Amino acid sequence: MVEQPSRTLGELAELVGAQLFGDAGRRIRSVGLLGKATGDEIGFCASARYLDQLRSTGAGAAVVREEHSQYCPTAALVVDDPYYAYAAIASALHPRERAAPGVHPSAIVASDAILEAGVAVGPHAVIGAGVRLGRGTEVGPGTFIGDGTRLGEDCWLANGVSIGADCSLGDRVMIHPGVIIGADGFGFAPGPQGWRKVPQLGAVRIGDDVDIGANSTIDRGALEDTVIGPGVKIDNLVHIAHNVHIGERTVIAGCTVVAGSTTIGSNCVIGGASAITGHIQIVDGATVTGMTGVTNHIREPGVYSSPLPAQPVREWRRNTVRFTQLDDMFRRVIKMERELEAVTGKQGKRGRSD
> Looking at the annotation, which residues are catalytic?
242
Q: Which of 99, 248, 283, 284 binds a second copy (CB under 8 A)?
A: 248
By CB under 8 A, tell whether 38 contacts a second copy.
no
Does position 347 bind a second copy by CB under 8 A? no
Given phi > 0 = left and psi -120 to 50 = alpha, else beta, which region is 70? alpha
CA-based nearest residue to 63, from 48, 75, 77, 52: 77
Work out whether 323 is an interface residue with a second copy (CB under 8 A). Answer: yes
Nearer to a second copy, 23 or 341 (CB): 341
Bridge-based pairing of strands 286-288 and 269-270 is parallel
**Cβ distance to a second copy smaller for residue 114 or 340:** 340
Among 31, 63, 151, 173, binds a second copy (CB under 8 A): 31
List all residues 6 or more positions away from 91 whose beta carbon is below 8 Å from its beta carbon: none
Q: How far apart are CA 274 and CA 292, in angstroms?
A: 5
Contact 41, 94 (CB under 8 A): no
Query: Given the rule CB under 8 A, which of 21-29, 56-64, 70-78, 230-238 is the region that contacts a second copy?
Result: 230-238
Q: Is 338 in the site for a second copy (CB under 8 A)?
A: no
The answer to whether 4 and 93 have CB atoms below 8 angstroms apart is yes
- Segment near a second copy (CB under 8 A); pick from 56-64, 68-76, 112-120, 137-145: 137-145
114 binds a second copy (CB under 8 A): no
| Cα gap 270→38, rounded to integer Å | 37
Q: Locate all alpha helices (DSSP H) within 27-174, ordered by sequence.
A: 51-55, 82-93
Residues of this chain, 48-67, that bind a second copy according to CB under 8 A? none
User: Residue 254 interacts with a second copy (CB under 8 A)?
Assistant: yes
Q: Which residues of 238-247 are buried (b: 16+ CB within 10 A; e: fewer)?
A: bbbbbbbbbb
**Residue range at the interface with a second copy (CB under 8 A); choices 57-65, 66-74, 112-120, 201-209:** 201-209
The residue (of 71 and 86) whose beta carbon lies closer to a second copy is: 86
- Of 25 and 191, CB closest to a second copy: 191
Residue 188 is a binding residue for a second copy (CB under 8 A): yes
Position 87 contacts a second copy (CB under 8 A)? yes
Min separation Cβ 146 and a second copy, Å = 8
Integer Cα distance of 319 and 301 in angstroms: 32
